[in-house]
């Protein structure tokens, strides 16, 4: 598992954007297999271990392959999460594992789904709703890497542990980026909070949750709370007339001071106590954060990090360390656990053999 420390990279996986849906006949089989494997893992190790496994991008990808999806497709994320949610429907209370959210419009129903589960379980879901909202806010506004979120799945257990799997698309380079969160690894929502971020392509990104962005987070909060909105807007208007440094990848073309006036007045009046509180305010989105970040850097001289947060990839790597060293422990554990789960399921012999064949192809590095 990976937390705040730099994880071992295990190779590269291309995740080209694939549109459309999995065929119905395939999805129905994926639902069945996802249900059986989940039952086995939860029975043997508990629901929290299922969250840990799903937060590990290599295991997540391997699970998707076992279900029968293309290993390199962006669709493995949305389809696996959908199959898992559908597969355990009606078994949630027995398993102690619950799934909310999904793709597109369904993702926006996550808070409502969590509240409904709270009523059924007599559970205070406000911390879960907050975690769902903040993880989405971080990956859309505090990290601006060119990937637009379109999928958000929130998984949790009866004791309040949770995991988030969300994915964004970049229609320019036609790749997807997946973001993994695990509650036990989150000490601070705005300081290195991810369990992992997967992406084939890397570049520059506004990364306000990087450890080295702490001074910028503080300055941005000060700008939003201590400087009058009129002064902040005047500085932004001035920045729009300047030629930004050639290395600066953040554009001001879609930042319209007049349209930001209302939200800046709101932040000034509500006086958020820190960057997390500021980010969590209703109406504070990517443009507001980008405007404040530009002012922090170009007016106050406090620059945020532009380190691309993506730091995980999945293929096995090479025995000689090219392109990356093999993470043998994770690799072997993933194979062992999936193999054991398949063998213990109630699937028929043919289905078990097909699943094992897919696992073997993954093990041998074949598609």
Same domain (yes/no): 72, 216: no
Asked if the model's pLDDT at residue 287 lies above 50, the reply is yes
Same domain (yes/no): 77, 153: yes
One-letter-per-residue 3-state SS of the chain: CCCCCCCCCCCCCCCECCCCCCCHHHHHHHHHHHHHHHHHHHHHHCHHHHHHHHHCHHHHHHHHHHHCCCCCCCHHHHHHHHHHHHHCCCCHHHHCEEEEEEEHHHHHHHHHHHHHHHHHHCCCCHHHHHHHHHHHHHHHHHEECCCEEEEEEEEEECCCCEEEEEEEEECCCCEEEEEEEEHHHCCCCCCCCCCEEECCCCCCCEECCCHHHHHHHHHHHHHHHHCCHHHHHHHHHHHHCCCCCCCCCCCCCCCCHHHHHHHHHHHHHHCCCCHHHHHHCCCCCHHHHHHHHHHHHHCCCCCCECCCCCCECCCCCECCCCCCECCHHHHHHHHHHHHHHHHHCCCCHHHHHHHHHHHHHHHCCCC
Of all residues in the chain, the percent with pLDDT exceeding 70 is: 78
Mean per-residue pLDDT over the chain, rounded? 82
Same domain (yes/no): 190, 273: no
Mean pLDDT to the nearest integer, 140-157? 95
pLDDT digits (tens, 9 = 90+) for 17-34: 555 566 777 788 888 888
Same domain (yes/no): 242, 317: no
Q: Does the residue 28 lie in any domain? A: yes
Q: Does the residue 304 lie in any domain? A: no
Q: Does the residue 121 lie in any domain? A: yes
Same domain (yes/no): 188, 252: no
Asked if the model's pLDDT at residue 111 lies above 90, the reply is yes
Mean pLDDT to the nearest integer, 166-187? 90
Q: Which of 243, 266, 298 is the last residue of a domain?
A: 298
How many domains does the chain divide into?
A: 2
Same domain (yes/no): 282, 330: no
CA atoms of 298 and 24, how far apart (whole Å):
53
Mean pLDDT to the nearest integer, 335-354? 72
Same domain (yes/no): 193, 233: no
pLDDT digits (tens, 9 = 90+) for 200-213: 667 778 999 999 99
Range of the domain at 363: 1-202+311-367
Same domain (yes/no): 70, 191: yes
Q: Does the residue 277 lie in any domain? A: yes
When pLDDT is cut at 50, 70 and 90, the band that residue 320 belongs to is very low
Q: Which of 298, 324, 342 is the last residue of a domain?
A: 298
Asked if the model's pLDDT at residue 5 lies above 90, the reply is no
Q: Which of 245, 276, 298 is the last residue of a domain?
A: 298
Same domain (yes/no): 64, 160: yes
Q: Does the residue 294 lie in any domain? A: yes
When pLDDT is cut at 50, 70 and 90, the band that residue 157 belongs to is very high
Q: Does the residue 305 lie in any domain? A: no
pLDDT at 173: 80
pLDDT digits (tens, 9 = 90+) for 42-90: 988 899 999 999 998 878 887 887 776 554 556 788 889 999 999 999 9
pLDDT digits (tens, 9 = 90+) for 226-275: 999 999 999 999 988 876 655 556 667 778 888 899 999 999 999 999 99
When pLDDT is cut at 50, 70 and 90, the band that residue 97 belongs to is very high
pLDDT at 326: 43
Q: Does the residue 252 lie in any domain? A: yes
**Contact of 316 with 11, CB cutoff 8 Å:** yes
Same domain (yes/no): 73, 218: no
2 against 332, higher pLDDT: 332
pLDDT at 333: 65
Residues linked to residue 154 through DSSP beta bridges, in sequence order: 100, 164
Q: Does the residue 230 lie in any domain? A: yes
Same domain (yes/no): 197, 58: yes
Mean pLDDT to the nearest integer, 321-343? 60
Of all residues in the chain, the percent with pLDDT exceeding 90 is: 51
Same domain (yes/no): 230, 289: yes
Asked if the model's pLDDT at residue 176 lies above 80, the reply is yes
Please, which residues have CB within 8 angstroms of residue 147's CB and are 6 or more apart in sequence?
168, 169, 170, 176, 177, 199
The tally of CA atoms less than 13 A away on the side-chain side of residue 365 is 9
Asked if the model's pLDDT at residue 278 lies above 90, the reply is yes
pLDDT at 283: 94
Asked if the model's pLDDT at residue 164 lies above 60, the reply is yes
When pLDDT is cut at 50, 70 and 90, the band that residue 339 belongs to is confident
When pLDDT is cut at 50, 70 and 90, the band that residue 144 belongs to is very high
């Amino acid at each position: 598992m990976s937390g705040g420390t730099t994880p071992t990279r295990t190779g590269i996986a291309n995740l080209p954007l694939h549109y459309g849906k999995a065929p119905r006949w395939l999805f129905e089989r994926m639902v069945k297999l996802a249900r059986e494997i989940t039952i086995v893992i939860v029975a043997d190790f508990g629901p929290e271990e299922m969250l840990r496994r799903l937060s590990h991008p290599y295991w997540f990808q391997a699970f998707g392959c076992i279900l029968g999806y293309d290993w390199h497709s962006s669709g493995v994320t949305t389809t696996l999460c959908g199959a898992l949610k559908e597969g355990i429907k009606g078994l949630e209370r027995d398993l102690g594992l619950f799934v909310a959210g999904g793709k597109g419009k369904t993702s926006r129903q996550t808070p409502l789904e969590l509240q409904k589960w709270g009523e059924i379980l007599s559970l205070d879901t406000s911390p879960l709703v907050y975690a769902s909202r903040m993880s989405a806010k971080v990956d859309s506004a505090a990290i601006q890497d060119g990937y637009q979120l379109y999928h958000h799945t929130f998984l949790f257990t009866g004791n309040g542990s949770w995991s988030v799997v969300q994915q964004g698309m970049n229609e320019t380079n036609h790749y997807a980026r997946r973001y993994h969160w695990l509650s036990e690894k989150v000490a601070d929502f705005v300081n290195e909070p991810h369990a992992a971020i997967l992406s084939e392509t890397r570049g520059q990104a506004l990364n306000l949750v990087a450890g080295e962005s702490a001074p910028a987070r503080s300055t941005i909060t000060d700008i939003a709370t201590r400087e009058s909105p009129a002064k902040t807007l005047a500085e932004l208007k001035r920045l729009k007339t300047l030629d930004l440094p050639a290395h600066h990848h953040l554009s001001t073309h879609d930042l319209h001071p007049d349209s930001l006036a209302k939200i800046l007045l709101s932040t000034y009046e509500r006086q958020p106590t820190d960057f997390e509180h500021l980010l969590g305010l209703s109406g504070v989105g990517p443009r507001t954060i980008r405007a404040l970040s530009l002012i922090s850097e170009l007016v106050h001289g406090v620059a945020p990090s532009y380190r691309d947060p993506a730091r995980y990839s999945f293929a096995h790597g090479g025995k000689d360390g090219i392109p990356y060293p093999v993470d043998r422990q994770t690799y072997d554990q993933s194979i062992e656990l999936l193999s054991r789960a398949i063998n213990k399921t109630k699937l028929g012999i043919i289905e078990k053999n097909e699943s094992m064949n897919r696992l073997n192809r993954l093990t041998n590095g074949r598609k």
